[in-house]
Structure 1
Amino acid sequence: MGALEKNADVRPDTEADAKYGYSASIAEGIDEKALLRKLDYRLLPPLTILYLLSFLDRSNVGNARLEGMTEDINMWVANAAGNQYLTGLTLYFIGYVLFEIPCNVILKRTTPRIWLPTLTLVWGIVATLLGVVQNYSGYLSSRFFLGVAESGLFPGVVFYLSMWYKRNEQHYRVALFFSAASLAGAFGGVLAWGISHMRGVGGLNGWRWIFILEGLLTVLVSIIAYFWVYNYPTTAEFLSKEEREFIQMRLKNNSDAMRDEEFTWSAVLDAFKDPKVWLYGLGFHTMSLPLYTLSLFLPTIIKELGYSAAKAQLLSVPPYAVAFILTLGVAIASEKTRRRAPFIMGSSALGCIGYILLLTQDRAGVSYVGTIFAAAGIYPAVAIVLSWPANNVSGQTKRCIANAMQISIGNLGAVLGTQLYRTESSPRFFLGHGFALGYLVANIVVVSILWLVLRRENAKKEVEREAQRLRLGEVGDIGDFLGDKDPRWVFQT
């Protein structure tokens, strides 16, 4: 549903032009669908590649573990190695959680073209250095600072996209962007399998080359990104003057993206005081544990089913490939129906089937099918959960902070998850699979509650609009607009 009216999808050259503020002179000669394609081609490729590299650089540690990393950096002491490895995974998410909100504050006070590539450059350097660590302390510090550097990308991009697209257009773009995570998982297995054959080159083991080559690739792309990432519609060089004005007009009818809003600490506090923001955070919290335990431990889970390390690397590809297809398919369905909660709950239920298979079956083939169901349910649900506050929170600073809060709260689940797949619980990993299943069930409950809250608030807003005889108009031009508290702002459910 639109920002101001439940079924508003305002387009130029209609009888509604005067009502919604489109200027005939601005709209003349501009094909809106062609302009959207132009935005997609210019904005999404660099962002998607950056996130693909981000997910690749955080999860390739699971591939490196299979290639002898724990032995080479002296973690190989009885069963302690596996649990020391988990400590490094935990430190990554601690760094991630602590710095997400500060990173989005910096983004709001600088520009995307400067901040997003700089983050990428820093984590690319750290990821490369993981390939030359010589001891356990080097492994721990590298993982922590990798989390710090990567923390600003996802919440920053979700906010960034909300400044370019109408609300009903944002979810598909966020889902397309997030689908890079599943692509990273698929490519990661193939890349790790290929790079591991470099064992001995330069006197280095194969796992070191995984970190070094993938990290250097990130550094290279980050330099290109300084010229590839754009700022906001008002200054984008690839748009004509008429296109910039048209984008501003269409966003005024639908969101707060074109309002001239200064950064204020009161808006930051407003995000912390809104119960719905905490529910968005819990919605991701209940997904982050299964998401990151699957991405970090899938090669190990498959190997413990009885496959060799090399085959486990390759068998990690199909679950991610299925997840990629379903993430896009579910996103399209959610966008067309303009519904969020039912698709999240349905996808989580599909993930539950996967973990039930993993918990109840000891046959390798059936358990492997369980990993496919798990990935196929987790990734589509996460894509919708992460786009929800970008659709519903207003104004700009509050939304910027809400995006970061959601991922910070969410990744606390990942912190817990990194300690669940312990060496002593292999090969069936009942503890880890059980927690993942429980979290997916909890996600269905949390999303149900949030769905009811949003529908109730929409009903109240409808009554207020009728009582106050409010005329639906342009958000950008309403002087007394109250953000998402305003009766003229309708939540997407």
Structure 2
Amino acid sequence: MAEVPEKQEYDMDKKVQFDENQPNASPPSDDLNVHGVNEKALLRKLDWKLLPALSILYLLSFLDRSNVANARLEGLTTDLKMTGNQYLTGLTLYFIGYVIFEIPSNIILKRTSPRIWLPTLTLAWGVVATLMGVTQNLGGFFTVRFFLGATEAGLFPGVCYYLSMWYKRHERQYRIALFFSAASLAGAFGGILAFGIAKMRHVGGLNGWRWIFILEGILTVLVSLFAYFFIVNYPNTAKFLTPEERDFVQARLKADSDATAHEGFSWENVRSALKDPKCWLYGLAFHTMSLPLYTLSLFLPSIIASLGYKAASAQLMTIPPYALATAMTVLVAWASETFRRRAPFAMACSFLALLGYIILLFNKQPTIHPRTSYAGTFLAAAGIYSSTGLALAWPANNVGGQTKRAVASAMQISIGNLGAVMGTQLYRPNMAPRYVVGHSMALAYLAANIVVTFVIWKVLSRENKKRDQVLETQGGGDGEWKGDEDLRWRFST
């Protein structure tokens, strides 16, 4: 194999750095200190500045989309005179709006700025979520759910793209998984908040479920106003960094990927994402996870209540499975980052969730053995959330070109949430308490995810090997990055 320099020293004037994607390259020190900037300390600074703020937005997003499950137990369907199937249609409309506006939202993000677009999205869905609390009829419920999906659509893919402009490729997996862990945390908070807010029934002449939407929606609106001040744009203009730190961030990103390139918006780059089979595979990986992910988050309170527990108890009993899922998501992300492997961990987590659904399906007398079925929800939640966190980081790690990466992240969520559209129709009231159809479909999708993840693993590994051979025989790969078609680019597996 052609000899490749093991390491290049930082030169802040030329802004070059060790390239982790080169074959046979040795990883840099964990604690580089160049021109007075300590790399490890700088990463901590970035994490504390970026991740808590973004995670709060996503926690609110997931809370505002899934609190309908808590509101259902507090009389939503009764007050609006909805049948069980009409309630499910409302859930479906959310994901239709979500899928339609995914890619357009990320295109707007690319053409504007994170500091403007992300808080504006949050403000918009906060207003919509609040309006859910004053909905008076079925038509209003359908309308609000659709626009809630439309306004929330851009947050997750937008943040995945945004983080790719701050961190090196191998650093993004852990940060995106930490960000995604806010989803399971929202489930735990949702149970606590619903239990407490439901006690406000009859306050102001409103039932408890209305207060769930109103208070949580108002909270989102307030946070969105502060978000205009605490969300920053990109490293080259970040005021919380010193000039030396800004140069250092730019230097460490320059040789790693195209994050520092001055790339204008181009429809050709949009088409490049649409024509890349790997981008569709990343979407399929999330598609096979979105059905179990959203059926669990939207129906877990109902599943637990159907085991014979009262509504108030069911609200609180959703907390432990989500707490385990949050811890598992962070632990698996850390392990994946440490060993620089995605697919094996994702497959193992999907298998864990699959075991949870086997317990739910084959416990034939859940009303007699509710604790056994409840244990199955722990395995399902822990496996689903941790595997999904890994799948969602793939485009940010593996897609080169800023516009292409923004579109690929949005594509993944759009393709993925088509699974959620179908999933919202699977847990019908007359199927309680075993929910055989819903649990069976979730199990089948998890099995499919294991297969899809294995295929992605092999496709990316083969492409990496092919590029190693080309570099060995022909050399090349100098100068500016040419996206993920560059011979130096190595795909994260």
Question: TM class, shorter-chain normalised?
Answer: over 0.9
| Distance of aligned partners of 1:8 and 1:229 in 2 relative to their CA distance in 1, 3 Å threshold | farther
C-alpha distance in structure 2 between counterparts of 1:12 and 1:40, whole Å: 16
Q: Secondary structure at the match of 1:488?
A: coil
- Mapped pair 1:249 → 2:267: no
Which residue, 144, 147, 160 being the options, matches 2:146? 144
**Residues 30, 40 of structure 2: 8 Å contact kept:** no
> Are the counterparts in 2 of residues 4 and 253 from structure 1 also a CA contact under 8 Å?
no
Distance 1:359 1:489, change over 3 A: same
- In structure 2, do the counterparts of structure 1 residues 463 and 216 end up closer, same or farther at CA, with 3 Å as the change threshold? same
Q: Give 3-state SS (helix, strand or coil) of 1:88's partner.
A: helix
Check if 1:445 corresponds to 2:463.
Answer: no
Unaligned runs of 5+ in 1: 15-23, 76-80
Partner of 2:223: 221
In structure 2, C-alpha distance between the alignment counterparts of 1:11 and 1:252, rounded to whole Å: 17
| C-alpha deviation, 1:6, in angstroms | 6.0
Asked if 1:259 is matched to 2:261, the reply is yes
User: In 2, distance between residues paired with 1:205 and 1:48?
Assistant: 30
Match of 1:322 among 321, 324, 327: 324
Whether the aligned pair in 1 keeps the contact of 2:305 and 2:314 (CA below 8 Å) is yes
After superposition, the Cα gap between the structure-2 partners of 1:374 and 1:486, relative to the gap in structure 1 and judged at 3 Å, is: same
Q: Cα distance, 1:253 vs. partner? A: 2.1
- The match for 1:63 is 70
Task: Answer yes or no: is 1:465 the counterpart of 2:467.
Answer: no
Corresponding position of 1:482: 482
Residue 460 (structure 2) aligned to one of 450, 454, 464: 454
One-letter identity of the residue aligned with 2:240: F
**C-alpha displacement of 1:365:** 0.5
- Please list, as runs of the form range in 1=range in 2, the aligned pairs for 1:176-195 lying within 5 A after superposition: 176-195=178-197
Q: Determine if contact 1:200/1:206 at 8 Å carries over to the other structure.
A: yes
- 1:254-291: CA deviations, max 9, x gaps? 11101111111011001011111000000000000000
**2:407 counterpart letter in structure 1:** I
d(CA) in 2 for partners of 1:4, 1:412:
37
CA contact (8 A) 1:10 1:253 kept: no
Residues 130 and 211 of structure 1 are in contact (CA less than 8 Å); yes or no, is this contact kept in structure 2? yes
Q: CA RMSD for the aligned pairs?
A: 1.3
1:399-446: CA deviations, max 9, x gaps?
100000000000000000000001111111000000000000000000
Task: Name the counterpart of 1:202.
Answer: 204
- Structure 2 unaligned spans of 5+: 1-18
Q: How does 1:16-415 map to 2 (within 5 A)?
A: 27-75=34-82, 81-361=83-363, 362=365, 363-415=369-421
State how 1:429-444 maps to structure 2 within 5 Å: 429-444=435-450
Aligned residues: 471
The change in CA–CA distance for 1:5 and 1:202 in structure 2 (over 3 A counts) is: farther
TM-score (norm 1): 0.94
Tell me what 1:419 maps to: 425
Q: Deviations over 1:22-61 (max 9, x none)?
A: xx9xx21111111001001111111000000000000000
Question: In the alignment, is the contact (CA less than 8 A) between 1:252 and 1:258 conserved in 2?
Answer: yes
Provide the residue aligned with 2:8 in structure 1: none
Instruction: Pick closer, same or farther for the CA change 1:32–1:425 going to 2, 3 Å.
Output: same
Distance 1:467 1:123 in 2: 54
Seen in structure 2, the aligned counterparts of structure 1 residues 403 and 94 have a Cα distance that, compared at 3 Å, is same
Identity fraction in percent: 65
Q: CA deviation at 1:9?
A: 3.2
**Counterpart-to-counterpart distance in 1, 2:222 and 2:321:** 29
1:78 corresponding residue in structure 2: none
Distance in 2, matches of 1:200 and 1:354, equals: 39
Structure 2 CA distance for partners of 1:485 and 1:268, relative to 1, 3 Å: same
**Amino acid aligned to 1:469:** G
C-alpha contact 1:119 1:153 (8 A) present in aligned 2: yes
Cα distance in 2 between the residues matched to 1:468 and 1:176 = 40
After superposition, the C-alpha distances for 1:441-467 in whole angstroms (9 at most, x for unaligned) are: 000000001100000000110011112
Q: What whole-Å deviation, never above 9, does each CA across 1:225-247 have from its counterpart, x for those lacking one?
A: 00000000000110111100000
Q: AA paired with 1:268?
A: V
Q: Provide runs of 4+ in structure 1 moved above 2 Å.
A: 1-14
CA distance in 2, matches of 1:394, 1:10: 22
CA contact (8 A) 1:96 1:408 kept: yes
